[in-house]
Amino acid sequence: MNRHFIAGAALLAAATLPGTASAQNTVKIGVISAYSGQFADTAAQIDNGIKLYMKQHGDTVAGKKIEIIRKDTGGPNSDVAKRLAQELVVRDGVDILAGFTLTPEALGAAQVSEEAKKFMVNMNAATAIVVTKSPYMVRTSVTLPQISETAGTWLATKGGAKKVYTMVSDFGPGIDAETGFQRAFKAAGGEVVGSVRMPVANPDFSAFVQRAKDQNPEAVFVFVPGGAQPAAIGKAFADRGMDPTKIKIISTGEAVDETAVKAMGDVALGRLSAWHYDYNQKSKMNDEFVKAFNAEFKRNPDFFAVGGYDGMHVIYESLKKTSGKADGESLVAAAKAMKWESPRGPVSIDAETRDIVQNVYIRKVEKAGSAIVNVEFDKVENVKDPTHGRK
Amino acid sequence: MSVADTNASSGFALSTRGLSRSFGQLVVARDINLNLPVGARYALIGPNGAGKTTLINLMTGMLPPNHGQILLGGEDITALTPQARVKRGLARTFQINSLFAHLNPLEAVTLAVCERRGISPKFWQNIAVNKEAIEEAYDILTRLKLGDVAYQTTRELPYGRQRLLEIALALATKPKVLLLDEPAAGVPQEESGDIFEVVASLSNDLTLLFIEHDMHVVFRFATHIIVLVGGAVFTEGSPAEIAADPGVREVYLGKRHHG
Amino acid sequence: MLPPIFGVLFDGVAYGMLLFVLSVGLSVTLGLMNFVNLAHCAFAMLGGYVTVVLMRDFNWPFFATLPAAFFASAVVSIIVERTLYRRLYRATDLDQVLLTIGLAFISVAVAAWFFTTQQQPITMPGYLRGSIDFFGLNIGLYRLFLVVVGIAVTILLIVTVEHTRFGAQVRAAVDNQRMARGLGINVDRTFAITFALGSGLAGLGGALAIEIVGLDPQFALHYLVYVLIIVSVGGLGSILGSFAAACLIGISDIAGKYYVPELGAFLIYLVMVAVLMWRPAGLFGKR
Amino acid sequence: MAPPPANPQAYLQSLSRWRPLEIAFWLATLLPFWLFPNYLGLANQIAVAALFALSLDLILGYAGIVSLGHAAFFGVGAYTAGLFSKFVWGEVFTGLIAAALMAALFGYVSSFIVARFRHLTLIMITLGLGLLLHSAANSAHFITGGSDGFQGISMWKVAGLFRFDLYGQTAYAYSLGVLFIVFLCARRLINSPFGLSLRGIRENWVRMPAIGADSRAHIRKVYTISAAMAGIAGALIAQTTQTVSLDALSFERSADVVVMLVLGGAGRLYGGIVGASIFLIARDQFSGIAPQYWYFWIGVLLVMVVMLLPNGILGGLSALLAKWRRK
């Protein structure tokens, strides 16, 4: 990128933007998310997290009133996200950009954050490189390598499997997960006996599951995006005769999320996963969080919701530190190295990379009374994104 | 086909050799051999379902034959596409109007003229610069008494005018042979005369074959009549011969007058 | 012991049957009245939500919800047909596209409003869960059920269309609408009933689909492409065509993914383009 | 209205004359610079969508080829412009030309398939080809960046003077200028002998061979031209936003542009522009009110337009106008 261009733009922005020039008593947050379309539920849960936090903590912080402006991208549209970010900055005068259901959205808006020097809180987009695209960005969700490398190491060392087959969706996050998992698994002495990349819009998994079964692995690693696919692949495992209690099936959290497990029923029992949050996690803070969330939205929170919730926490606490100063430099400085207790456990923002540092929990699907839930039985503490600084 | 055969038919504007076509069991054209001399005015008659329109479809390439050849000015055109036949001078009209509903007659005929003159691929010039093509189109329209409606949208024209536009479109391709499929179909009797007056006034170099049911019209305008029955040529001859043929009376005229 | 590919193929057929039930109604209405109904999957989605609500909130057994899903979609489709679609039978294809896609958009928003954007899982009765062993193959019980339903629907439709008076009227109207009117067939009523049947089947398909592909408000748009593929590959207005197309797409998709997973995302479209280039009117199409 | 001139050449000339309303329209496209300086990002997106819809109009509105895969060319143009800026240089106009040529190449090759089909088969073939290209772009993530989006676009200043600013002034001016130039080309094409042949194909596909026309050759040509225009639209979005996502090739983008064009009125030069403007402004406003439920209001808008103004907004309005004049 042309440095002069950015400097010029920033100068112009700083000099003329309505938000910065006239920010008296409000701090405006522009939330850019895929409120409509295929990923609408992700956006809805992030939004619920935001709403709950504001309900619990009030809409005034450090003497400033918080105002939220929501914008819909309709899906993984980088150009629309960039346009919306521009409009939020120049038209609505927002001080902070937040949300970001999907990586392309975050990448589009990151340019604007960098040019206009706006604090940007990435509450979901999980591709590792996203945070490097603007010096004013922090991430409060998760990165895929953080999870998948932890899963790989854990499976080869403590999980007791040396031969693994990997199945991932054939798109950016899936490839990230595959690369991370295989790298860590091999490094820990495991062997990858086969792998398959499955189409993103794949309604039926029988063929892929059968391929995995043909290889006779000791364990299978799975990554599929949330929505209808987790349940579909889970049932395919059952239909093709792969029993998770006999063959280890480990995945990221999406593949065993609440709806998926509910739809799978008993066939989900024994499924392993590495993840950073589950509504069933046992802590006083999480119990209260889940209770409040249910009271408000009549459903359980998920990792999307917690990303939004913690994102708001970072915004509130940073504003407190800057005493309401809402420029990008001050806010990102305040957010760096921030540590707090989240419903998911202790988390922090890495001072150097601005990325999230958190515990990764190893869980197993078990029966708890009549319900079927993910039960944590092991954890790896304070995991950073492993890819930063790596070439 | 031998060279001699080709030479033998070269005196004719349009010939067919053993033209046959069937759909499964149904034979719609059976071994049809015809020769149309240059400048002839041929009528094609026969009862409904005799295969008259099918024959025109075969000649113009809209329907491929199972067997046989079609020769235009002695050249075998059997394998050519419909548009290639048109380019070589074989044009037709349709029994049911097949026009450009939202174009006006001037645009429609200019379109046909431009296609013939090979200027239709030009996407970079305004159509209006093609003075000669436009004037030629307008000339055809005035000759067919359509000059006064040249700028009216086709589908708003009276039916009789639309029938004339059918012919105008065919003429715009500068045909050597023109096949008219019931040019006055659906037109009230008193107006159908007008249409045939126009047809009769066409250049003598133009070879004509027309399908028509009205025997008065047929006998008045045709120099030669072909009777088609059940997909085969029943008989052919001059109007006088046909009028005198008792077989024709039976299969066609009789039916028509008494049935 | 049968080789595992048979089990995979069986799953393909079962998936195909689901697509068949979802799409056959559209094939018939498109063939019959030339009406482009892009809201077809909205009716399917409606059937899905009916099943979800009845099972979850009213504790109906799964099987009892299926006829309810069928009738709910059929009834709503008659209302829509009477109020909106009728007026557009003579309109251009493009206006039909605009109207029906507009309705599909509305259905997406309405579903999101009433049911949120969440996936709606349902719990199948025990006898449809799990799998049975068939000569060493695992056959999922629900998939077996889908195949049975698919074949039953096909037989029922073919018997109705080939051997009943109503069927004869439908066939006459498909072949030549003008002539059918001339014969005194009430084409409008025939169409309305056919339309309701087709939408009802879509509703049934939507209910059956939950277990396989899930249900959320995007269903109305997401499965439209698959349904259109089945309809075009099968040939407009052909029940057997849709059945054959559904089997072909289901099997080739799954077998292809098994043998050449690298082509997984391409298969269904490659098969469609190849079939249409070979037979532009579809496998059993007339035009 | 003045009576039509007696001379047919003058009459045809008069059909392509600039009308006052047209001139007013184009002058009005400049108003956002002063009236809505904070909406120039949206204005840019509308200009690009309008160009995309205009390209579709050439094949759908003028030649009767309904395509549900037109985003293929938009996407090819966008990725070509992106790759061009990354590996050649960041100059905009050469990037635009490269994108147009690449999209034209894709269009030309696929036109040999497309020209053979009609009706539903044609729609499904275009849809299939579009989705195949979408899947291919996803698989080729080493070039395209896959679903994460294409990274590393940096554009030079337009004409060495104007950088793409945060307000979108340069972006809108640039896109509007390109839209206007391409519009002039399309306008000339429509009023050309070729344009007349296209209208002939749309009005009566069966008659065309009977007047000696090779419709398939015409279709191949217009498909290629339309692809090039769509490629330019894609390049504009890549250059002005410096991002390309896989979405540029998606079925949704293909479907949206059809909806925009039909909403405005297919087969009318301004149909695409009007449709894109109304669709995107409505979407922006509705989603501003309710980001989760704007689909509802867009749906209502479409249903209303079909019921009240058949043949799109322009088609319906001109029919109403004609009715009113006759009274």
Chain segment B120-158, per-residue pLDDT in tens: 888 989 988 888 999 999 999 998 888 888 899 998 998
Whether D297 is in a domain gets the answer no
Q: Please report residues of B whose CB lies closer than 8 A to that of D210.
A: 60, 62, 82, 86, 91-92, 94, 98, 169-170
- Residue pointed to by tokens 């496998």: C283
Between C267 and A5, the more confident residue is C267
> What mean pLDDT value characterizes chain A?
88
Give A269→chain D minimum CA distance, Å: 32
Query: Closest chain B residue to D267 measured between Cα atoms?
Result: B102
pLDDT per residue over C110-131, tens digit each? 999 999 888 888 888 878 877 7
CB-CB neighbours of A22 under 10 Å: 9
User: Residue D116's domain spans which residues?
Assistant: 36-248
Q: How far is CA B20 from CA A196, B42, B51, B82, D26, in A?
A: 58, 21, 11, 18, 60
Q: What is the pLDDT of residue A11?
A: 42
Query: What pLDDT does B252 receive?
Result: 62
- The residue that leads in pLDDT, A128 or A277, is A277
> Which chain C residues are closer than 8 Å to D66 by Cβ?
93-94
3-class DSSP state for residue A376? Answer: strand
Interface probe for D, chosen from A86, A107, A114, A132 (most Cβ of D below 10 Å), is: A86
> Is the predicted ipTM greater than 0.90, yes or no?
no
Q: Among the residues of chain C, which ranges form H helices?
A: 4-33, 40-58, 62-83, 93-115, 141-163, 165-175, 177-182, 187-213, 219-222, 224-234, 239-259, 267-278
A170·D139 Cβ contact <8 A: yes
* pLDDT score of A153 more than 70: yes
Q: Looking at CA atoms only, how far is residue D10 from chain A in angstroms?
A: 46
Structure confidence at residue B51 (pLDDT)? 85
pLDDT > 90? residue B183: no
Q: Total domain count for chain C?
A: 1
Residue B165 lies in a domain: yes
All chains having 3 or more CB pairs closer than 8 angstroms to chain D: A, B, C
Residue D42: its pLDDT value, please? 92
Q: What is the pLDDT of residue D217?
A: 93
Q: Judge whether residue A21 has pLDDT over 50.
A: no
Q: Which of B159-168, C184-193, D123-132, D185-194 has the lowest mean pLDDT?
A: C184-193
Q: What percent of chain A has pLDDT above 70?
A: 93
Taking the C-alpha atoms of residue B206 and residue C231, their distance in angstroms, rounded to an integer, is 49
Task: Evaluate if residue A213 carries a pLDDT over 70.
Answer: yes
Among A143-157, A221-235, C124-138, D257-271, the minimum mean pLDDT is found in C124-138
Structure confidence at residue B217 (pLDDT): 83
Residue D147 DSSP label: G
Question: How far separated are the first and last CA of chain A, in Å rounded?
Answer: 20
Instruction: Kindly report, residue by residue over C12-65, the tens digit of the pLDDT.
Output: 899 999 999 999 989 888 887 788 889 999 999 999 999 999 999 999 999 999
Q: In the predicted model, is pLDDT for residue C3 greater than 80?
A: no
**B35 class by beta-carbon count within 10 Å (0-12 exposed, 13-18 middle, 19+ buried):** middle
Q: B129: domain range?
A: 90-174
**Considering only CA atoms, which of A314, A377, A386 is closest in space to residue A353?**
A386
Radius of gyration of chain C measured on its C-alpha atoms:
19
Q: CB distance D299–C105 less than 8 Å?
A: yes
* Min Cα separation B5/chain D (Å): 28
Q: Which residues of C116-152 are buried (b: 16+ CB within 10 A; e: fewer)?
A: bbbbbbbebeeebbbbeeeeebbbbbbbbbbbebbee
Residues of B in contact with D211 (CB under 8 A): 86, 91, 111-112, 115-116, 169-170, 172-173
pLDDT exceeds cutoff 70 at A245: yes
**Closest among D217, D271, D239, D225 to D153, alpha carbons compared:** D239
Q: What distance in Å separates the CA atoms of residue B65 and residue B161, rounded to the nearest whole number? A: 33
Residue D154 falls within a domain, yes or no?
yes
Residue C246 counted as domain residue:
no
The answer on pLDDT for A3 being more than 60 is no
Task: Specify if B102 maps to a domain.
Answer: yes
Buried b (16+ CB within 10 A) or exposed e, B58-92: bbbbbbebeebbbbbbbebbbebebbebbbbbbbb
Query: Rounded to the nearest 10 degrees, what angle do helices D294-308 and D271-289 cross at?
Result: 140
> Does the residue D149 lie in any domain?
yes
Contact predicate C239/C24, CB 8 Å: yes
Could you read off the pLDDT of D204-225 as tens digits, one per residue? 888 999 998 899 999 999 999 9
Task: Please give the pLDDT value at position B1.
Answer: 41
| Residue A272 pLDDT > 70 | yes
**Residue C211 lies inside a defined structural domain of this protein:** yes
The verdict on residue D127 lying in a domain is: yes
Q: Is the pLDDT of residue A22 over 80?
A: no
Per-residue 3-state assignment (H helix, E strand, C coil) for chain B:
CCHHHHHHHCCEEEEEEEEEEEECCEEEEEEEEEEEECCCEEEEECCCCCCHHHHHHHHHCCCCCCEEEEEECCEECCCCCHHHHHHCCEEECCCCCCCCCCCCHHHHHHHHHHHHHCCCCCCCCCHHHCHHHHHHHHHHHHHCCCHHHCCCCHHHCCHHHHHHHHHHHHHCCCCCEEEEECCCCCCCHHHHHHHHHHHHCCCCCCEEEEECCCHHHHHHHCCEEEEEECCEEEEEECHHHHHHCHHHHHHHHHHHHHC
Owning domain of residue C73:
4-220
Q: Of the segments A16-25, B58-67, B211-220, which one has the largest average pLDDT value?
A: B58-67
Is A262 within 8 Å of C121 when comparing Cβ atoms? yes
Under DSSP, the state recorded for A129 is G
pLDDT tens sequence across C64-95: 999 999 999 999 999 999 899 888 888 888 88
- Nearest to A112, CA basis, from A140, A91, A139, A126: A91
Q: Dump pLDDT digits (tens) for A56-77.
A: 999 999 889 999 999 999 888 8
Q: Is residue D274 part of a domain?
A: no
What does pTM read for this prediction? 0.90
**How far out from the chain centre does Cα D298 lie?**
20
CA-wise closest residue to A144 among A391, A372, A383: A383
Q: Which two tokens stand for residue B63?
A: 């329907």
Q: First CA to last CA across chain D, in angstroms?
A: 15
Chains near B with 3+ CB pairs less than 8 A apart are: D
pLDDT at B177 over 80: yes
Neighbours of chain C (3+ CB pairs under 8 A): A, D
Candidates D231, D254, D212, D185; CA nearest to D76 is D231
Which residue of D62, D192, D202, D318 to mutate against B (max B Cβ within 10 Å)? D192
More confident residue, A203 or B2: A203
Structural domain total, chain B: 1
Closest Cβ opposite residue A5 in set D39, D45, D163: D163
Q: What length does chain B have? A: 259
Does the pLDDT of residue B4 top 50, yes or no? Answer: no
Look at residue D111 and tell me whether its pLDDT is greater than 90: yes
Residue B122, domain member (yes or no): yes
C261 and chain D in contact, CB less than 8 A? no
Q: What residue in D sits closest to C84 (Cα-Cα)?
A: D307
Share of chain D above pLDDT 90, in %: 59
Q: Do residues A247 and A271 make contact, with C-beta atoms less than 8 angstroms apart?
A: no
Q: Does C64 touch chain D (CB under 8 A)?
A: no
D11–B98 C-beta distance less than 8 A: no
Residue C34: the pLDDT is: 80
Instruction: Please give the Cα distance from D93 to D75 (Å, whole number).
Output: 18
Using CB atoms, pick whichever of B101, B115, B119 lies closest to residue D212: B115
Mean pLDDT of chain D: 90
Q: What is the mean pLDDT of chain C?
A: 88
Report the share of chain A in percent with pLDDT over 90.
64
- pLDDT in the model for residue A164: 94
**CA–CA distance, A9 with A112 (Å, rounded to integer):** 10
Q: Does the beta-carbon distance from D207 to B94 stay under 8 Å?
A: yes
pLDDT band at B184 (very low <50, low <70, confident <90, very high): confident
* Mean pLDDT estimate for chain B: 85
Per CB-CB distance under 8 Å, the chain D contacts of A110 are: none
DSSP 3-state of A127: coil
Rounded to whole angstroms, the maximal C-alpha distance in chain C is: 60
Helices (H), D164-214: 169-190, 193-203, 207-210
User: What CA–CA distance (Å, rounded) separates C218 from A39?
Assistant: 9
Write down all domains in chain A, each with its CATH number in brackets.
3-142+284-354 (3.40.50.2300), 145-275+360-383 (3.40.50.2300)
Which of C7, C119, C262 is facing A240, going by the closest CB pair? Answer: C7
Residue D190, pLDDT > 60, answer yes
Residue D305 falls inside a structural domain: no
Backbone phi, psi, residue C235, to 5°: 105, 135
pLDDT value, residue A391: 53
C88, C102, C266 ranked by CB distance to D135: nearest: C266
Domain membership flag for residue D193: yes
Domain count, chain D: 1
What CATH number is attached to the domain comprising B150?
Answer: 3.40.50.300
Does the CB of B92 have a partner CB in chain D at under 8 Å? yes
Does position D271 have pLDDT exceeding 60, yes or no? Answer: yes
Q: Is A26 helix (H, G, I), strand (E, B) or coil?
A: strand
CA distance D44 to A83: 9
Average pLDDT in the D287-310 region? 89
Q: Taking the CA atoms of C35, C41, C44 and C50 in sequence, report the sign of the dihedral they define.
A: negative
Higher pLDDT, A200 or D109: D109
- Cα B23-B24-B25 angle, rounded to 5 deg: 105
